[in-house]
Amino acid sequence: MNVSFGQPFRRLAFGLLLASSVAVPAQAGFGLFDHGCDTNCDTPSCGTSLCETSLCESAACDMGCDGGCDAGCGCGGQLGCLSNLDALGCGLIKPSDHCFDDFISPMINFVHFEDPRTLTEIRPIFVNHWVPDNIGSGIPAGGSIQLLALQFRVALTERLSLIGVKDGYIFDSTDNALDTLLDDGWAAVTAGLKYNLLRDTRSGTLASVGATYEIPGSDDALQDVGDGEFHLFMTGGKRLYNGNAHWLSAFGVRLPVDDEVQTESIHWSNHFDVRLTDSVYLLTEVA
């Protein structure tokens, strides 16, 4: 894992994920977001389960899932469970879109591989990097480096989200082996906006676009590089095999402010998962 987040790289990952909610909304929100809609959405007569039943073929749903089945969630409106959500904080914060709760977020390239869903969540991140005993031209090193970070996503409207994808504190645990190169310090901070362009609950299709800006961090932690950079991205997802599998894909361009210090780069990340149970997924990713 690249602790500095600063260099483009390609990674392939396979894993078995035990899914658990660390999101702020509804079921993990200590009642803060429970305004009736979430209760209805958790019943079998709502969300994706409704859209996968024969009820969607009835006259009541002849306008498609967004106009029919999704509106039958008991919340009303074209966006169903999203449309009548009461906001938290005087209308500034809205809960996550629960009609796509069967999706899971990307695991690798977590700074730039953005989830296409509209979410309100807090996502803790811990990274541990073991440093080889010798680096470069035989320079003695050893030990480890840790990053403790906290991502956040806040739904401002039914489609617009404020996202914070990179922050945290870096701990140098190399027993002074890298004192002239690396020390404890703050990571760079990256935040921006994401907008959901396509939300089709019947076909299980999502597409979003967004932009973030990275503010340089501590020089001691090698995070004070240039004058920051912009990241423009598109991300999408598709429900497959009646919700038992999912595909996510994201493409982005990184544009540094100071191109004499940093270079432009692009990335394309992909995720495929198979749901084994309601909370256990088998997944693979390439980034």
Query: What residue ranges do the domains of the chain occupy?
Result: 28-89
Residue by residue, DSSP assigns 126-138 as EEEEEPPSEETTT
Q: What is the pLDDT, as a whole number, of residue 133?
A: 86
Distances from the Cα of 178 to the Cαs of 7, 144, 280, in angstroms?
A: 19, 10, 40
Q: What is the pLDDT of residue 19?
A: 43
163 versus 86: which is more confidently predicted? 163
Question: For position 180, what pLDDT does the model report?
Answer: 74
Q: How many residues does the chain have?
A: 287
Residue with more model confidence, 212 or 180: 212
Dihedral over alpha carbons 51, 55, 57, 63 (to 10 degrees): -70
Query: Could you tell me the sign of the dihedral formed by the alpha carbons of 24, 272, 108, 157, in that order?
Result: negative
Residue pair 236/269 in contact (Cβ under 8 Å)? The answer is: no
Ranking 74-88, 90-104, 267-281 by mean pLDDT, the lowest is 74-88
CB within 8 Å of 5: residues ≥ 6 apart: 111, 166, 187, 188
Give strand pairing partners of 253. 232, 266
**What's the mean pLDDT when you consider all of the chain?**
77
Distance CA 199, CA 206 (A): 5
Tell me what pLDDT residue 137 has: 79
pLDDT of 88 reads: 52
Q: Which residues contact 77 (CB under 8 A, 6 or more apart)?
A: 71, 83, 84
Supply the pTM of this predicted model.
Answer: 0.71
Short-list 232, 251, 199, CA closest to 67: 199
Q: What are the phi and psi torsion angles at 81 (to 5°)? A: -65, -20
Residues facing 149 on adjacent strands? 125
pLDDT at 124 over 60: yes
- Could you tell me which of 110, 82, 87 has the C-alpha nearest to residue 13? 110
Mean pLDDT of 65-86: 43
Angle at 125 between CA 171 and CA 109, to 5 degrees: 105
pLDDT tops 90 at residue 287: no
Reported as a single tens digit per residue, the pLDDT across 126-160 is 999 998 888 877 778 888 999 999 999 999 999 99
Rounded CA-CA distance 234/197 in Å is 10
Q: For the segment 204-241, what is each residue's pLDDT rounded down to a tens digit?
A: 999 999 999 999 999 988 898 889 999 999 999 999 99
| Contact between residue 65 and residue 99 where contact means Cβ atoms under 8 Å apart | no
